[in-house]
Structure 1
Amino acid sequence: MLDRTRLTALLARERATFEDRHPRSAAAYARADHLFGRVPMTWMNKSAAGFPIHLDRARGARVSDIDGHEYIDFCLGDTAAMAGHSPAPVVEAVTRRLAELGGASTMLPTEEAAAVGAELARRFGLPHWSFTLTATDANRWAIRLLRAVTGRPRILVNSYCYHGSVDESLIVVGPDGQARSREGNVGAPYDVTQTSRVAEFNDLEGLARELAHGDVAVVLMEPALTNIGIVLPEPGYLAGVRELTREHGTYLINDETHTFSAGPGGATAAWGLDPDVVTIGKAIGGGIPVGAYGLSAAVSAALSGRTDLDLVDMGGVGGTLAGNPLSLTATRATLEQVLTDAAFAGMIEVATDFATGTQKIIDEYGLPWSVNQLGARVEYRFVSPAPRTGGESAAHADADLEDYLHAYLANRGILLIPFHNMALMCPQTTTDDVARHHEAFADALGELIG
């Protein structure tokens, strides 16, 4: 339905406008010769307009760049700032830890750590917790623990899942139905098809076929796919996954790093799930780096009884900075005072307004697009009905169309998560913010469709 020539021209116009509006960001980017890729981390080069805006300040649901432009931030650090930027209780707690108490990294436990563990246990239903600096590390370490318990070498993930940079997760189902390394995988230390198995999300037959080999220690999955666009579970799918994993003696990890948007206890609590392990990171620290993994009583007991495993020193599980006082102080303040049950209720209400309004605009233009909502997270896709697998979702990507919408919105003061058309709400996001998105989104479609 789209005039690709018109799309190309509009994208070029928006990129030129972006360049004109951001001379200081462009200059900062150009002179960053000593940064690999000219950015602190190479994924920051994912910019619809050719170079990233450079941050000046951020507060609540707003960020400002060094060129003086303010944005409504629906990106929120791709979940890391789901509590909003610099929430006051976290700032106060972290300031007290650094300025009054000191000891950002001491290799000593604090009372905050026990309080955080208790709160995570209340929310997710798993009794024992340990901490990392990232969700990626939480996944890596949980995988190692469950390989040790089972004596099995492989893990299984869903095609186009997202578990950070875990090497074993970079596997997809190819067009021929066979497993292959995900395109663009950088410097893989080994052939991922030898360490991992893969099944499409919402495909219980495929999962059963892969588990039947009897060599899978753990299924690591998001309860809903998020980083290939939101792909929601079909009725009965997650219950089927749990049944199959138990049937084949395989453990189940729910990676709640992104699906935490489903509610105070993530999808695990919202949907009544019963995993053996939960991993999480990003949002729980209110912007301070932290990750965590929770173990069922059975997994904890199985590990504690293994005298052959070095869980204290050089067994490959842990890190000097993991569980540091600063991270745990920030996490306690975030969970107890910011991302509360009441806050989630408000965030989800605003997200519902975002989802219904966006779908209405899409329908008014007669576009075959769809909208999915995962609690406080919303995504619009360029296909209808919404994809049911990661492979389907990847097949319906449209880079130029996505860049046009992102650049158009950025030029009008609205930021989406740069990797896809996803918007996240924080406690400070308002219905007025949503209305501004809808106005700009409708204008963007109006110029494109005519």
Structure 2
Amino acid sequence: MATRHGIDWDKAQALYVAEREAFVARMPRSRELSAAAGGHLLFGVPLHWMNDWSTPCSLYVAAAQGARFQDVDGHDYVDFCLGDTGAMFGHSPKPVAEAIARQAQRGLTAMLPSEDGVWVAQELARRFGLPYWQFALSASDANRFAIRWARAVTGRSKVLVFNGCYHGTVDDVFVDLVDGRPQTRDSLLGQVYDLTQHTRSVEFNDLAALEGALQDGQVACLLAEPAMTNIGMVLPQPGFWPAAQALCRRYGTLLLIDETHTISSGPGGYTRAHGLQPDLFVLGKPVAGGVPCAVYGFSAEVARRAEEAKRNAPPGHSGIGTTLTANLLAMAAMRANLAEVMTDEAYLYMFALAERLAAGLRRVIDEQGLPWCVTRVGARTEFQFTPTPPQNGSEADKVLDSELEHIVHLFLLNRGLLITPFHNMMLVCPDTTTADVDRLVAAFAAFVAAVR
């Protein structure tokens, strides 16, 4: 018997074949649309990432509401992916949908400010503790813009990231450690210069390596998630962030915290929940309830230096921002989401559900004797194919197994349960129910029983 991560690999492969056949048989309309899409969409999908799912053809959505969606073949699903965080507070929350409908009759974009922008900035300052804000259409753009401001105010060119980080599609961050040495990621398409000229990479939780990268005084900013989320979740060790912040201050490096995923930690993100004090702060995906939008904030000192840098620069385009930034529709959606959806009460509810999910997954893993673990960051939960949680990106990368992930994901999908395709991440939202969580745990147990 061939074993892999504690399961019978022959059984797992046979199960995958059966699940693919079952999916194809149930999805005639999705098959038709996938075939038609091949004629005019590159790779047959609007975004090539949409091919990363475990399905034999694309799964086409007909409608989504709350914690559920329906496909074009009439099947219903409980959604624990939630747009990979973009719909973290549920699909089309009622206050957001109503705000969008109202604003759609009053203007979509004008490249002029609205009253909503003032309210939103005040609310962001209250929640996250940074007094000044700007906007973007995605966290990728917000990170790009924040990096530009960091370089402008420090006069330094280099950026530091943690190995295996997630910061959207910002070119500067695609630097991996290979045998301990930084190199531009092999999969980065169209990259024509060596990113390591201006980007450094060290392991998360390694304070000695962090200091080594900062001590020459050339790093403009450390761009980091407070807990890593995209290579399998990696949590900070006790005391890591207080020490890391002190090192940034000592060497004059700005701390840029990206909470696009770790906003699952609470209404003020991991930053407020754990007392971080960033110089710059980015939040994207769910902040406008699913409408494309992102925000980035500045400490008072960095804001002063940023305004000074702009005033002292030659006249002309700063290279920061886009025409649709802070459009009227996005600002209205963000105000509704922050005021009525992304509330303290919603988070408390989601935390309880996520803990129930994590406990249920751990119970199955323990009962079956699997060498797997479960990690939770607020409303975000993940199981990993290792008995102990990884401490850095390299450790997390070694236990990733995309083939096994696809088998698990397709098994769950065929039972009306969707989790994130890229690894084993699950989110709950204010519309998720206890019964939904118990159903996912039961299906997970059925999968394990089928491959032990």
Instruction: Give the shorter-chain TM-score range.
Output: over 0.9
Count, aligned residues: 445
Aligned to 1:140: 144
Aligned to 1:298: 301
Instruction: After TM superposition, list the pairs within 5 Å mapping 1:191-340 onto structure 2.
Output: 191-306=194-309, 307-309=311-313, 313-340=316-343
Aligned to 2:100: 94
Question: AA paired with 1:279?
Answer: V
Task: Tell me if the contact between 1:8 and 1:400 (Cα under 8 Å) persists in the aligned partners.
Answer: no
Aligned to 2:27: 22
Question: AA paired with 2:215?
Answer: A
Aligned to 1:117: 121
Aligned to 2:402: 399
Distance 1:337 1:183 in 2: 43
Task: Tell me if the contact between 1:370 and 1:386 (Cα under 8 Å) persists in the aligned partners.
Answer: yes
Distance 1:190 1:140 in 2: 17
Distance 2:19 2:426 in 1: 20
Distance 1:444 1:342 in 2: 34
Question: AA paired with 2:190?
Answer: G
The correspondence for 2:154, drawn from 150, 156, 164, is: 150
Aligned to 2:43: 37
Q: Does 1:413 align with 2:416?
A: yes
Q: Does 1:13 align with 2:18?
A: yes
**TM-aligned CA deviation for residue 8 of structure 1:** 1.1
Q: Does 1:163 align with 2:171?
A: no
**TM-aligned CA deviation for residue 184 of structure 1:** 1.0
The correspondence for 2:435, drawn from 432, 435, 446, is: 432
Q: Secondary structure at the match of 1:31?
A: helix
Question: AA paired with 2:286?
Answer: A
Structure 1: which 4+ aligned runs deviate by more than 3 Å? none
Task: Tell me if the contact between 2:133 and 2:298 (Cα under 8 Å) persists in the aligned partners.
Answer: yes
**TM-aligned CA deviation for residue 313 of structure 1:** 5.0
Task: Tell me if the contact between 1:14 and 1:49 (Cα under 8 Å) persists in the aligned partners.
Answer: no
Question: AA paired with 1:328?
Answer: M
Gaps of 5+ in 2: 1-5
Q: Secondary structure at the match of 1:197?
A: strand
Question: AA paired with 2:285?
Answer: K
Q: Secondary structure at the match of 1:305?
A: helix
The correspondence for 2:367, drawn from 364, 368, 371, is: 364
Question: AA paired with 1:121?
Answer: A
Distance 1:243 1:112 in 2: 36
Q: Secondary structure at the match of 1:348?
A: helix
**TM-aligned CA deviation for residue 185 of structure 1:** 1.3
Distance 2:192 2:235 in 1: 32
Q: CA RMSD in A?
A: 1.0
Give per-residue Cα distances to partners, 1:345-379, cap 9 Å, x unaligned. Answer: 10111001010111111111000100000000000
> Structure 1 residues 183, 50: closer, same or farther in 2, change over 3 A?
farther
**TM-aligned CA deviation for residue 51 of structure 1:** 2.2
Distance 1:433 1:10 in 2: 24
Distance 2:8 2:68 in 1: 34
Task: Tell me if the contact between 2:402 and 2:423 (Cα under 8 Å) persists in the aligned partners.
Answer: no
- TM-score, length-scaled by structure 1: 0.97
Task: Tell me if the contact between 1:372 and 1:378 (Cα under 8 Å) persists in the aligned partners.
Answer: yes
Aligned to 2:131: 127
Aligned to 1:46: 52
Task: Tell me if the contact between 2:166 and 2:230 (Cα under 8 Å) persists in the aligned partners.
Answer: yes
Question: AA paired with 1:14?
Answer: E
Q: Secondary structure at the match of 2:211?
A: helix
The correspondence for 2:387, drawn from 384, 388, 407, is: 384
Distance 2:169 2:318 in 1: 21
Question: AA paired with 2:418?
Answer: L
**TM-aligned CA deviation for residue 183 of structure 1:** 3.4
**TM-aligned CA deviation for residue 404 of structure 1:** 0.8
Task: Tell me if the contact between 1:11 and 1:400 (Cα under 8 Å) persists in the aligned partners.
Answer: no
**TM-aligned CA deviation for residue 309 of structure 1:** 2.9
Question: AA paired with 1:93?
Answer: A
Instruction: After TM superposition, list the pairs within 5 Å mapping 1:59-70 onto structure 2.
Output: 59-70=65-76
Distance 2:8 2:197 in 1: 44
Give per-residue Cα distances to partners, 1:99-132, cap 9 Å, x unaligned. Answer: 2x2x101011001001111111111100000000
Question: AA paired with 1:347?
Answer: M
Q: Secondary structure at the match of 1:144?
A: helix
Aligned to 1:71: 77
Distance 1:240 1:23 in 2: 56
Identity of aligned residues (%): 47
**TM-aligned CA deviation for residue 31 of structure 1:** 1.1
Aligned to 2:3: none
